[in-house]
Each structure stands twice: as structure tokens, then as C-alpha cells.
Structure 1
Amino acid sequence: MKIGLVGEGAIGRFVAEKLGAAGYGPHVVLVRPARLDGPNGTRVRRVGSVADLPSDLDLMVDCAGHAALIEHGAAILGRGIDLITVSLGALADPDLERSLTDAARSGSAQLHLASGAIGALDCLQAARVGGLAEVTYTGRKPPAGWRGSPAEDRIDLDRLTAAATHFDGTARQAATEYPKNANVAAAVALAGMGFDKTRARLIADPDVTANIHEIHASGTFGSFSFRIEGKALPDNPRSSALAAMSVIAAIERRRAPVTT
């Protein structure tokens, strides 16, 4: 299997390192044209457009965020190359979701959604078959984890002495308003009841030191609650370590003769 990456950020570097250690590549990295002549520590071939990707690629992995999926996703799928992405929040835009679906069909390719920083999505998908009545996602981070987001305009992150909810709405609203913070809300929505029926709550909490993700779901199957406390990648406090690991897990499932 020949694998390429989109992006060279913290998640991209983690994935490239793991792929290299396992002997999987990467064989090419798609970057912004301005970065083609920049430092290249791995010496992997760089290209600046989807048209320049090798014709024998089996899989591309998007590690570069919403903008990269919007810019390159449809073109990659249209070329018949399968694509794994962690930028699930971008699919809150129905036009983008439609564009990617149409491109995948025309190119006989598949878009694979990595689980990112959350677990229990297989349980949620199974529960959906029987019928879900309620799904709520709650994201809790230290105040510093919400810098650069609309939370700065809604609460005083510097003076918090107790947990404060700065968003309570649908997963679609969360993914749209918090594009850098709500990929997990999108993952929960896509696995369960959809963007408009999934409730999302985002909380700044000065008493926590990790990013905490919780799912509560109920339906004909019964109910379940799931909680995970995630750490960031060492070289970027904004990037979830588990999100990066989920990309490798998704690639390994594609390669495995037996998979879950």
C-alpha cells in the first residue's frame, strides 16, 4: 500500500514518524505551494497540488485541518484515491459533505472518518441501528485550551474560578462556530443521530488539566456514558495525541487481513 499525507503539522509529523518506523512510507506529502522549498526533515517528496500526486497512490491521509479537506478532499477522491481524515467538523457544512460524497462516488473511492480524540463510536453506531433517543457530547478543557475560539468573547478565560459553559447547542452549531475545537462533537454526531439532533456542550474548567470528552446516549438498546481524558501531542498542545493515534489505527485496519 502506497500512502501519502496532507500536511506537515503536529499530527502529520506523528503519522509520518509511525509510518516510517513501520516501513509504510509516507511516499508523498501534499503541502501548500509556498512550503515546497522549505525544510524537509524526512526528505519525503513534496507536491503542491492534487494533480501532482503519483498515480499509484492507494491512500491519502488528511492531517491538515478543515481548510485542507475543503481544498483538496474532493479532488483526491475524484482521482480514485481513498482518503482518511480527522477533520470531521468540516462535514457540518452540508455542501462540503455533498461534494465529498459525489467525488467519492465518481472516483470509486472512500472517505474514511478517523475516530479522533474520542472512543465508543462503535457502540454508538451499533445503538443507532436499533434507534437512538438522545446523544449528548460534553467537551471540557482548561481555560487555556479555548483560546482562539468564541469562548474568549463569551466568558473571561483569565478569571475563571469555576467551570463555565460557553456553548450549548447542536453539534452542527458547535462544529461551525468552533472549527478548531469541535471535531469530536462532529465525530459523535456522524456516528449517532446526526449534526442537528446531537446536543453539544462546551465547558471551560480551571480545575482540570486535560481535555475531557464525554458521551451520553440512550435509546432502545438502553443507555451508556463514556468519558476520556486526553493528552496533547508533546510538540503542540492544541493537537490531541489520541487523534493522531486514531489515524494510525485507521491505516492499520485498512492493511489488516482481519479487522474490527
Structure 2
Amino acid sequence: MKHVAIIGYGAIARYVMTAIAERDDLSLCGIIGRAGRLEDARACAPDTVAIADAVGGLPQRPDLVLDCAGHAGLRDHGPDILAAGIDLYSVSAGALADAALHDALSAAARRGRAALRIVSGAIGGLDILGAARQGGLTRVVYRGRKPPASWRGTPAEDRIDLDAQGEAQVHFRGNARQAAALYPKNANVTASIALAGIGFDATEVELISDPACVENRHELVAEGAFGSFAFQVSGRAMPDNPKSSALTAMSMVDTLLRLEDPIRIA
């Protein structure tokens, strides 16, 4: 039996909780939430699951922790979890655009002899990108196209009128570090691509609001010594959160369930 704790209690976390409940080889031993908001976490969790505002507050030490929250969850809890020698799996790739946090997590993982693993999330092709990096990548471009509702509460609102859009409009062009910092709830994909490929500063990003979109569309293009490739996926958002991809939740579940597979795709 593997004992699992989860950071967060939003749409992705609830999806993962349901998957764990269906297994007899996994046990949800705790939920880590924000101090002062633990009642919100309690409302989402089974009565038998412990709730705490830090991993050290859980009555049972988890075998691993799944970060299903936003950047703040990884920043607030990641170093302590890794330093305690507990492996951490996260959907918050964008938080690593902060160089200081990246270094703090790396140092904590070394101290605890633990590992931080970023799940693939809403994008594919990261295995090809990582392999191509070994031979030399010359260019990596990510384009993210989502319906206007998915960009509410982001800097896109200051650049275009999301309520009156008649056609697709680009509201951001820059690199992955800038995109991850400005769009923490929308652009984790850009950070995953940067980590797998040529880094935050060299990865080109274009973000588009498109009223014709009914799904979130991610496009990855890469060129290098290996040749070139283009990958595109149209993914649906979580029903109760238009900013979260259903594939992100599914990728966390898939990662968790494959941990004990004797044979797996590397």
C-alpha cells in the first residue's frame, strides 16, 4: 500500500482523489492546504483523510506527495517536502521560472535525497524534445490558443476586449520565463517545454485568445540537428475550471499509477 498526500483541493486535486479512491493499492493519507483555509479543503476530502497546512502536520508520513495546486503550493510546501526525503510530483512547472525557487527546490531535494518530478500536463512531445536536446536544438516555439473565457483574470484583459472579440488575437509574445510569470494559471505548458528543451529564456511563446476555439489548443514546433517536428493537441478544460486542462489531471493520475509498473515507457 502506497500512502499519498495531495497539495491542493481544486479541480485537478479532486480528479486525482477520485482515481486514488478506486485503487486498493493506494491510500490518500492527507491533504495539504493553505493556513486559514483548511475548512475549504475539508469540504472536498473524505472524512477519514487528515488535513494540514504543512506536510509535518499530517499524522502519517506520506510515501509521496502530489502537488495539484498552483505555483504558491509548490513554493510554500515543496522545499520542506523534499528536504524531508519525500518525492514530490507537481503540475506547477511554471513556478520553476523563478530561478531562486528552482535553486531552493534543487538544494532541498539534494539534502533529502528526494526528487521533484514535473508531470507532462496538457502537452505531449516532451520525450522527443528531451531526446532532440541531446543532439542540439536550435529553435523551440510554443503557441497556446484558448477561448476568451480561459484568459479572464490574466494580463490578456488589459490588452484585448475579451467580451467583444470577433476574431483571434495574439495578446502575448515573448519567452517562456515571461509567460510563466505573467500567466501562472494558463502557461504551465510553456515551462514544461522549456525544462525539457532549451530553457526558459530561449523558448519562444505566443499566446492567443480565439472566440472560435471550443478547446484549448497547444502547438509545439522544434528544429535542430535531429531534424524538425510539430506537435498539436486540442484539449478540453476541466468542467469546473476553464483555466485547468483535463489532460493535466489525467497526466498526474497516469504518472501515479505507473510508478509500480514493472515495465514502462521511459
Q: TM-score range by the shorter chain?
A: over 0.9
2:43 alignment partner, one of 33, 39, 46:
39
Matched, 1:123 2:123: no
Matched, 1:28 2:30: yes
Task: Decide whether the 8 Å contact of 2:176 with 2:201 is kept in 1.
Answer: yes
Q: Which residue of the partner structure matches residue 18 of structure 1?
A: 19
List 4+ stretches of structure 1 deviating above 6 A: none
The amino acid of 1:139's aligned partner reads G
CA–CA separation in structure 1 for the residues paired with 2:31 and 2:64: 12
Task: Decide whether the 8 Å contact of 1:16 with 1:25 is kept in 2.
Answer: no
Q: Which residue of the partner structure matches residue 190 of structure 1?
A: 195
Matched, 1:66 2:60: no
CA–CA separation in structure 2 for the residues paired with 1:217 and 1:75: 36
CA–CA separation in structure 2 for the residues paired with 1:244 and 1:207: 25
Task: Decide whether the 8 Å contact of 2:185 with 2:244 is kept in 1.
Answer: no
SS at match of 1:217: strand
Deviations 1:123-151 (A, max 9, x none): 11111111101000000011111110000
Question: Alpha carbon RMSD of aligned pairs, Å?
Answer: 1.3
With 228-237 and 75-84 compared, the bigger mean Cα shift is at 228-237
SS at match of 1:166: strand
Task: Decide whether the 8 Å contact of 1:2 with 1:57 is kept in 2.
Answer: yes
CA–CA separation in structure 2 for the residues paired with 1:239 and 1:182: 10
SS at match of 1:225: strand
Q: Which residue of the partner structure matches residue 144 of structure 2?
A: 139
Aligned length: 260
Alpha-carbon offset, residue 39 of structure 1: 2.5
The amino acid of 2:46's aligned partner reads T
Task: Decide whether the 8 Å contact of 2:220 with 2:230 is kept in 1.
Answer: yes
The amino acid of 1:21's aligned partner reads E
TM score, norm. by length of structure 1: 0.96
Deviations 1:207-252 (A, max 9, x none): 1111100000010111000000010122222221000001011112
SS at match of 1:138: strand
Task: Decide whether the 8 Å contact of 2:50 with 2:59 is kept in 1.
Answer: no
State percent identity of aligned pairs. 51
CA–CA separation in structure 2 for the residues paired with 1:39 and 1:161: 40
CA–CA separation in structure 1 for the residues paired with 2:126 and 2:231: 10
Deviations 1:179-224 (A, max 9, x none): 1111001111111011001000000111111110000001011100
Q: Which residue of the partner structure matches residue 62 of structure 2?
A: 57
